[in-house]
Structure 1
């Protein structure tokens, strides 16, 4: 990696000027890097995938690779409540990366956008979709404008993807091989705008292009025309893909979207291997339900008739272990019934030998549509997980079903504190 990055950085780009009509977004000087990874994100009617995407991105890049990247998130939704909620969660989950200047979050005020009404009709699209598409073009443009002076290259990904481990090294290796060849974008995914790599020197021109034609067509179609203008006649694609779409619902009106990249090679994570544990809860257990079923690996499940904010269900491992993945499934599985819509999962660590709890918890992630399925980042170096806690954060309208709490264990060993 270091050799490829040194070769790639050997020919520095001259800094480019920002677009004069844009608001001053830059609040501090950031270290110059090889790669800025841009992620635009807006509120989705059926839940956000952004935290999962960030989790996947940092889990898939080593500490050595992370020294050469900046992850830039543009929270582009006008809802200040949603933005505040996302900022709070990002700050909690990814604090070390923020402190290391490896993760930056920005927002552009809606008053800085060009008009989003009275559009001409194109391609028989509905007015709502034209407005969505036009705003998306500007979301991307503001993100790219901010990214122009921080690195040699810019990579766009969407807010609902997962990343191949080592993708930074693979991109650096490709850049080294292509350093003396002409290209506008290199493509590391076949999905929309995800995985498109630019020279940062080209971003100001593309930003202007997006603003000139933001009403006319989608950003991906505009990129195709931009290629033609700069004489790249055909896409330059690399296989297998480095990014895969993981969301099931579009950011446009929450419509179902099962788009997948057929060139992405899935990792086989195997079956969960729940180690021996005890289960504790302050939920009211229904007469015909068994608490341990929430942690079993069979088809049984746990049901509670009611729950309140602050209620919990906690798995306490007999022997603390290194947990690589946690999966929590609530609801019936057949319909969106008895799901826990408002809840999150915490990992617990213990240095005082508490019998049925832990004295130190960190947030792993939020339930989205009643489900969490996350790789675990090593935020507590040298310590093993003792507790996995499902915490109810909002009172549900009816009872909830906990079908499975599944754990994948790297190895089990005694904890040291």
Structure 2
């Protein structure tokens, strides 16, 4: 690892340490009779001696490199949702998100983060999301979805969303090919490294610690308390990162004070390898050789497809334990209804995971409220709660819930429904038995089976998915 780290340092310091100076500028060099390949080896050794062969000098050299690199001066990350916290927090949870060929899990990840945390835990962290895809349509849609679904957390300054214009990025043209890679396979991790760097650069001053996760994970309940307890136990020990997941860049905890150095490291070597691999060399630079991983893992990967080209890539952390069904996931979806809706009632509130609710003036027999998932999913539990907190007030007395499947690619409905269960006292909380056909659920429909004498309130339609 140490030798590879030296190679990375020398690659990035061509302007600071002239590696091939002796080959081109000293014609009387005793190695002048060697082949070009042999001369490069000699030049490597001499350049290495110029710096210092000791590991203790790595960081000093890296600091010098930082002074000679200015990639952050043109970065213009901007807040598109929310406001930074007024007071410094214990923890910033960072997510860099782009479009995925098979659909986005970002909303489900955010829901898992907030619902796996108590109200007292949420006071000690902020979630920082970097929407890093240049597609303006996707960016606009994600801003709208996040603003609607997570309004309480935005207002509480617990969620901030940023975007970095593409002009702030280093060029992705003529990138170095390390293993005869195709250009696209080099460009993707190179840009991703910059996505991470700009996210961390923005996060530097908002908390004492920074936790990196991906945009397609679910969280163990109480993960914040477990991390805080671990940090307290390791307060007087040296560490660069503490790992709360075995996978990639998920669940990696940094001291916020180390972020500027790692940001520069990512930008200097963005062409060399993916960020999680660069992290191991950053450990070596700061004198942490073994990984410090805690069990059980607190985060689980939920996307079965690679972000690059949508290739199937089922990554699962075997050390992630689920003691109960946890919080609902409510994957991204659209909501449709033919109920009589007043102008000030927001339909998405029926599906949101906060305290908001949806109200309909009347509910005629045969009317419905249908959740249509953006991506069909394996749903294993459904909960529907109607009525206000006041007993027997505005709940749907007669209705049932159906699961829908789609064989003809309909956009806003399904063509095949099966009965899941009847509402009892305005509610349903039911496990979905395994479907022998193997088809995934696309629609969840609340169907009114008898006209209600008054308006109805739909507090929650909650889905648990695998």
TM-score, structure 2 as length reference: 0.61
Aligned partner of 1:30 in structure 2 is 85
| C-alpha contact 1:244 1:261 (8 A) present in aligned 2 | yes
Answer with 1 or 2: which has the greater Rg. Answer: 2
Q: What corresponds to 2:129 in structure 1?
A: 73
Secondary structure of the residue aligned to 1:72 is: strand
The two structures, once aligned, show a CA RMSD in angstroms of 4.0
Following the alignment from structure 1 to structure 2, what is the Cα–Cα distance between the partners of residues 375 and 57?
Answer: 20
2:78 counterpart SS class: coil
What is the deviation of 1:176?
A: 0.7
Say if 2:382 and 2:430, in contact at 8 Å, map to a contact too. no
User: Compared with structure 1, are the counterparts of its residues 118 and 172 closer, same or farther at alpha carbon in structure 2 (3 Å cutoff)?
Assistant: same
Partner of 1:128: 184
C-alpha distance in 1, partners of 2:186/2:417?
41
Per-residue CA distance 1:198-232 (angstroms, 9 max, x = gap): 00100000000000000011101110000000000
Q: Is residue 93 of structure 1 aligned with residue 146 of structure 2?
A: no
- What is the CA distance between 1:398 and its match in structure 2? 10
Q: Determine the C-alpha separation between the residues in 1 that align with 2:212 and 2:384.
A: 23
Give the unaligned 5+ runs of structure 1. 1-17, 273-308, 315-324, 327-346
Compute the TM-score of the two structures, normalised by the length of structure 1.
0.68
SS at match of 2:375: coil
Following the alignment from structure 1 to structure 2, what is the Cα–Cα distance between the partners of residues 125 and 403? 48
Match of 1:106 in 2: 162
Kindly provide the CA deviation profile for residues 27-71 of structure 1, in whole angstroms up to 9, marking residues without a partner as x. 955221110000111001111010111111111001000011100
**Structure 1 residue matching 2:238: 3-state secondary structure:** coil
On the 8 A contact 2:357/2:457 being kept in 1, the answer is no
Q: Matched residue pairs, number? A: 326
Relative to structure 1, is the Cα distance of residues 44 and 351 closer, same or farther in structure 2, using a 3 angstrom cutoff? closer
Show the 5 A alignment for 1:192-271. 192-269=248-325
Q: CA deviation at 1:85?
A: 0.7
Q: Judging changes above 3 Å, is the alpha-carbon distance between structure 1 residues 352 and 128 closer, same or farther for their aligned structure 2 residues?
A: closer
Query: Aligned residue for 1:42?
Result: 98
CA shift, 1:23, in A, is: 1.8
Task: State the secondary structure of the residue aligned to 2:100.
Answer: coil
CA contact (8 A) 1:55 1:377 kept: no
Report deviation, 1:376.
7.8
Compared CA separation, residues 71 and 253, structure 1 to 2 (3 A) = same
Give yes or no for contact 1:239–1:263 (8 Å, CA) kept in 2: yes
The structure where helix makes up a greater share of residues is 2
Deviation at 1:358, TM superposition (A): 9.5
Give the distance between the partners of 1:226 and 1:237, measured in 2 at CA: 16
- Maintained 8 Å contact 1:74/1:107: yes
1:25 Cα deviation after fit: 3.2
Structure scoring higher RCO (CA < 8 A, sep ≥ 6) equals 1
Partner of 1:371: 377
Tell me if structure 2 keeps the 8 A contact 1:348–1:385: no
